[in-house]
A = this chain, B = another copy of it.
Amino acid sequence: MSLAPGATIGILGGGQLGRMIALAAADLGLRAHVYAPEADQPAFDVAAAFTCAAYGDEDALARFAAAVDVVTYEFENVPEATAALLARLKPVRPGPSALAAAQDRLVEKRFLEGLGAPVAPFADAPDETALREALARFGGHGILKTRRLGYDGKGQVRLRPGDDPRAALDAIEGAPAILEALVPFAREISVVAARGIDGAFAAWDPGENEHADHVLSLTRVPARTTPATSAAAVALARRILDALDCVGVMGVELFVVGRGADERLVVNEIAPRVHNSGHWTDPGAVTSQFEQHVRAICGWPLGSTARRGRIEMRNLLGDGALGWRDALATPDAHLRLYGKRDRAPGRKMGHVTRIFPEV
């Protein structure tokens, strides 16, 4: 089903990602209706309509579905029941398989493994016994990660030989978890890609990511990998989006292990949504990830992913937002601020994209 301009896009989640999707929708003559449980959400300010209600509020969800033509989301942790209720009433894009694969780290790893995609060794760790066994197999090193609802390093515990597995399980409050072996990676890269309703696929060039306190701080494009590694990363992303019948934009995070001719890839995680490491595409690429996502979920053709130059995208985290004035005074810098009222350490307040001539 293809929409026409004037249609309304429903967006679950009112943060900066929802805000930037709504802005891209407006550029294309579409209306945005944002649904989020929290008050004062950044996306509310730019949406034609918003609903402030819980994700479990079935009446509010039904009214929301009636008011929109397609539903999408800015985060992969949409409760299953919410997605299922909405999917009975309106198309939800990306669809249920993408959500299911991205919500649970164990399901995600098994999905990727089944696809033949390289992943870090992992083990289900439902209890202390299983965790001890897995740790023994991984030489005492590993990262305990909750299966659900982790992001930006939250819900993760690093384990070293001699550490108490019991304490690690307590730290994640006994939530279902997996143990992942450490990957001695040289770089972290990501592929942001889109798939259309007709199966068309378009990826931006892979970006190289740096983190500070587990939060993305910098994306450089192109990533410093061999052309073969970049091509392999994009090919992996394509297999993932195809397998999930994904309609929309998706981020695929990968580790690059080794260097030069020895480079190999390990898929870290996938997110069926616009991705922080793709923020540079506005205006660093001909089509931004936000416009691309809107095109895809509307059933429209995908746009060109050509880059406008060499890119550096820096997140403005917490008090980093005070750098807005410097960014405005830098001729090749593009400032984006999310309109969040309160700064907190590590909170994503905005980002700055710089476009340099290709070397």
Residues of A within 8 A of B (CB): 5-6, 19, 22-23, 26-31, 44-46, 48, 283, 286, 295, 300-301, 303-304, 308, 321, 324-325, 328-329, 331-332, 335-341, 350
Query: Are the C-beta atoms of B286 and A6 separated by less than 8 Å?
Result: no
Partner of A27 from the list B23, B44, B321, B332 (CB cut-off 8 Å) is: B23
Query: Are the C-beta atoms of A5 and B324 separated by less than 8 Å?
Result: yes
Residues of B within 8 A of A23 (CB): 23, 26-27, 46
Query: Are the C-beta atoms of B45 and A26 separated by less than 8 Å?
Result: yes
Chain B residue at smallest Cβ distance from A27: B336
Residues of B within 8 A of A304 (CB): 331-332
CB distance from A298 to the nearest CB of B (A): 9
Query: Are the C-beta atoms of A339 and B31 separated by less than 8 Å?
Result: yes
Residues of B within 8 A of A308 (CB): 308
Query: Are the C-beta atoms of A5 and B303 separated by less than 8 Å?
Result: no
Residues of B within 8 A of A341 (CB): 6
Query: Are the C-beta atoms of A29 and B339 separated by less than 8 Å?
Result: yes
Query: Are the C-beta atoms of B303 and A331 separated by less than 8 Å?
Result: yes
CB distance from A203 to the nearest CB of B (A): 15
Query: Are the C-beta atoms of A295 and B328 separated by less than 8 Å?
Result: yes
Partner of A5 from the list B22, B46, B337 (CB cut-off 8 Å) is: B337
Query: Are the C-beta atoms of A46 and B26 separated by less than 8 Å?
Result: yes
Q: A28-B335, A28-B336, A31-B45 are in contact. List 5 more A-B contacts (CB 8 A).
A: A29-B324, A29-B337, A30-B339, A44-B48, A308-B308
A274 to B286, CA, bound (A): 23
Given A6-B341, A48-B45, the answer on whether A350 and B29 have CB atoms closer than 8 Å is yes
Residues of B within 8 A of A283 (CB): 283
Partner of A29 from the list B22, B26, B31, B338 (CB cut-off 8 Å) is: B338
A346 to B53, CA, bound (A): 42
Give the residue among A30, A286, A341 with the most B Cβ atoms within 10 A. Answer: A286
A29 to B324, CA, bound (A): 10
Residues of B within 8 A of A335 (CB): 27-28
Chain B residue at smallest Cβ distance from A329: B301
18 CB < 8 A contacts A-B? A5-B337, A5-B339, A6-B341, A23-B27, A23-B46, A28-B336, A28-B337, A29-B324, A29-B336, A29-B340, A30-B337, A45-B48, A46-B46, A46-B48, A283-B283, A300-B328, A301-B328, A303-B328
